[in-house]
Structure 1
């Protein structure tokens, strides 16, 4: 696949040539391995890299072809996204005064550096620091306002509730190995990435995650490590050991 992408990149000299070459590639069988690889990165349910709510169905160029055609066939510029997020983003690509991207790249950036999550509503908002809203968080929600959709917020809430139950069960469990394996299973099924917020960011200061962190600090750290690695971490088994 790399050789084919390199060959095609040589055709991407102008925006018009790049768009034509890309359309030809997407209609060809050569696009199948790329889609399959991106789907594997998206977890078991093949969720959209942006919203985590819908099925990832197409390849989005993080740097749009219209903005940087030289990256048309760059693997690192590809994201698997749903039609709704793809439509909202289109060729929108805000940058700062130095030309650095202000749109979050979900494949390389921790979103919680730029957003805060309300665990009671499932809504996200740009971080507020140094008397200003985080530029990446604000610009991303301007472009992808669909991330504030009620249905997506409800999806985050459902994951939060499942993780809350799993942690409460662990805190009262007589079989920590079994309960922790169940908690890791819930983390592995988190399509929205809220696990990191709840175990590593401000969410870890709220109950029952605060009690989990103070009662089992080593276990909490290992849970964070698992959440960071997912979906690349091995799925937990029922006999996972503490």
Structure 2
């Protein structure tokens, strides 16, 4: 599917780390899935967190990307970073895929942004990050998810750290996904779980409709927010088709 000078870059979301992509990557070729700063073994960013700073960190940590055409895929909060990578590497980015995207709340008034940050971080005052992640599993996966899928979802928070989550939430408070995407010229696809209650498809599709070039929209049935875990084969198929359409 990919030529020797192409690579797929996968970016994880707020409550997971790079292994969320393992089953999806196994069905695609030539891919890279870094952990974001503050996640797993990665140190935090030195400065204020923003999508561009996360993107620059990843690009600096993987200089081989400067010599290859890249297909960028993000999940949830990671869509902000994925879009920033596509923007920072516009001349090399061939496609961008956003999976269950979070839009950020940078357009909200300051007092509203502070309230949202507090709401997101308050549970972590009394719960460890792995406990916090397990508490959210019912919201993340569809009610029809198999026990093995739920069990996998429950492990995604095992390598999380409060500081990394805090930085990511702060980054979301400074971000506006539509503003980033509006400046990107490469083909864009957005994939949703049909029953996602965290980033509901209908409302998000309405917001993307305001773009000058609305994206290709795909829905995955019987799935919630964790598409890379709930439906990795179907998601990989959509990514493959998106890349192949660009290659034609």
| TM-score, reference length from structure 1 | 0.28
Larger radius of gyration: 1
> TM-score, normalising length from structure 2?
0.28
RCO higher in 1 or 2 (8 Å CA, sep ≥ 6)? 2
Answer 1 or 2: which has greater helix percent: 1
